[in-house]
């Protein structure tokens, strides 16, 4: 991208960069590795939820800073220097990983890597293999809730720019930057405290249900907004709902064996990519088709997705509790024998 900007090349050359990003996994590859690394270094208790949440909220903090800076950066200096800055930061990140982070997989374990075909089967084994027994239904339910949530959040993310640029708001890059900064900072500042507070009286599945409902309220507020203040009011419930995705990832992480964390997060990374592609397309088309009829319709649809995710987690909670009761009964019979 930097070279295309510097030499003012045809924009078709950007496809080359997209290919490199796709092969390397891009942002989803970095996040996947970060989740797996965190799972390798934290115990399988609530602390894993905190560890995974810290990655998300660190991302939110960085995004908050970059959003407000980039708006002014582009306005005053054009596109070249922001692109150079981004490239430099990526190189710095690479150096920090190589120099500072210790390896969590020893050489003996590396020599036992499975074939690509077996590795792919392992990624999907949580949902199809009989080895997981009744847990397969729990994996399916949690993955369904995760896909619905990520699908709608990704879809509305890009569509929100169109919403803010359009009438009656007509926002410029600075105001969009301030809004995104407020959004990411609210997630950063409220996410961890909300998890800690809710863990005092609820479990991770219950946190998912509560935050899904709160997030749907945030999208409804955005959908009915007709002033700048009303859009900014949606920031608070969005921040309170920040633990939703980390809690879902932590639930799946605790159900998977320690040696299969990488496979689990590889599957989650694939869901991230699928939901990003489909969500962006669906919600952009939905916005274009309904903007003249009902400007906030896509946000209402997104709120409905969050409620559907909450219902899915209610089923998950009921199924998991019934499974615990069944497992306890089975143990009792065996003991008597």
The residue among 71 and 22 whose pLDDT is bigger is 22
**Contact criterion met (CB below 8 Å) for 189 and 61:** no
Instruction: Give dist(CA 225, CA 206) in Å, integer.
Output: 29
Instruction: Tell me the HSE value of 299 on the side-chain side, using a 13 A CA sphere.
Output: 22
Return mean pLDDT, the chain: 83
CATH 1.20.1250.20 fits 2-103+128-328, yes or no: yes
**Contact criterion met (CB below 8 Å) for 325 and 151:** no
Tell me the backbone φ, ψ of residue 76, rounded to 5 degrees.
-90, -30
Using the predicted structure, report yes or no on whether residue 85 has a pLDDT greater than 80: yes
Using the predicted structure, report yes or no on whether residue 150 has a pLDDT greater than 50: yes
Instruction: Give dist(CA 5, CA 105) in Å, integer.
Output: 40
| Two structure tokens written together for 121 | 């089967």
Using the predicted structure, report yes or no on whether residue 312 has a pLDDT greater than 90: yes
Using the predicted structure, report yes or no on whether residue 160 has a pLDDT greater than 80: yes
Instruction: Give dist(CA 239, CA 14) in Å, integer.
Output: 34
- Asked whether the bond before 191 is cis by omega within 30 degrees of 0, the reply is no
Instruction: Give dist(CA 320, CA 337) in Å, integer.
Output: 26
pLDDT one-digit tens code per residue, 263-293 = 888 888 888 888 888 998 899 899 999 988 8
How big is the chain by its Cα radius of gyration, in Å?
22
Sketch the domain layout of the chain as residue ranges.
Answer: 2-103+128-328
User: Which of 5-14, 195-204, 326-335 shows the lowest mean pLDDT across its residues?
Assistant: 326-335
DSSP 201: T
pTM: 0.75
CB atoms within 10 A of CB 200: 6
């Amino acid at each position: 991208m930097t070279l295309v900007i510097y030499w003012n090349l045809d924009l078709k050359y950007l496809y080359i960069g997209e290919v490199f990003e796709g092969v390397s996994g891009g942002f989803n590859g970095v996040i996947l590795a970060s989740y797996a690394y965190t799972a390798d270094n934290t115990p399988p208790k609530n602390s894993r939820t905190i560890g995974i949440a810290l990655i998300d909220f660190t991302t939110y903090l960085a995004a908050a800073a970059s959003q407000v800076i980039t708006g002014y950066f582009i306005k005053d200096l054009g596109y070249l220097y922001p692109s150079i800055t981004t490239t430099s930061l990526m190189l710095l990140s690479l150096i920090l990983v190589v120099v500072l982070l210790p390896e969590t997989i020893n050489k003996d374990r590396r020599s036992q890597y499975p074939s690509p075909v077996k590795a792919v089967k392992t990624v999907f084994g949580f949902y199809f293999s009989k080895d997981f027994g009744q847990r397969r239904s729990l994996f399916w339910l949690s993955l369904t809730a995760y896909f619905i949530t990520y699908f709608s959040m990704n879809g509305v993310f890009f569509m929100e720019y169109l919403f803010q640029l359009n009438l009656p708001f007509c926002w410029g890059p600075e105001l969009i930057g301030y809004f995104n900064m407020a959004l990411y900072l609210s997630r950063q500042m409220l996410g961890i405290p909300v998890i800690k507070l809710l863990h005092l009286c609820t479990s991770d599945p219950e946190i998912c249900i509560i935050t899904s409902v709160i997030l749907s309220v945030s999208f409804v507020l955005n959908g009915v907004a007709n002033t700048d203040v009303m859009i900014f009011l949606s920031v608070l419930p969005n921040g309170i709902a920040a633990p939703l995705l980390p809690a879902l990832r932590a639930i799946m992480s605790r159900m998977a064996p320690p040696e299969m964390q990488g496979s689990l997060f590889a599957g989650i990374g694939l869901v991230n990519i699928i939901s990003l592609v489909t969500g962006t397309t669906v919600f952009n088309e939905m916005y274009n088709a309904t903007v003249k009829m009902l400007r906030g319709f896509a946000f209402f649809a997104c709120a409905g997705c969050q409620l559907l995710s909450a219902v899915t987690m209610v089923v998950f909670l009921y199924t998991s509790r019934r499974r615990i009761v069944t497992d306890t009964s089975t143990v009792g019979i065996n003991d008597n024998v």
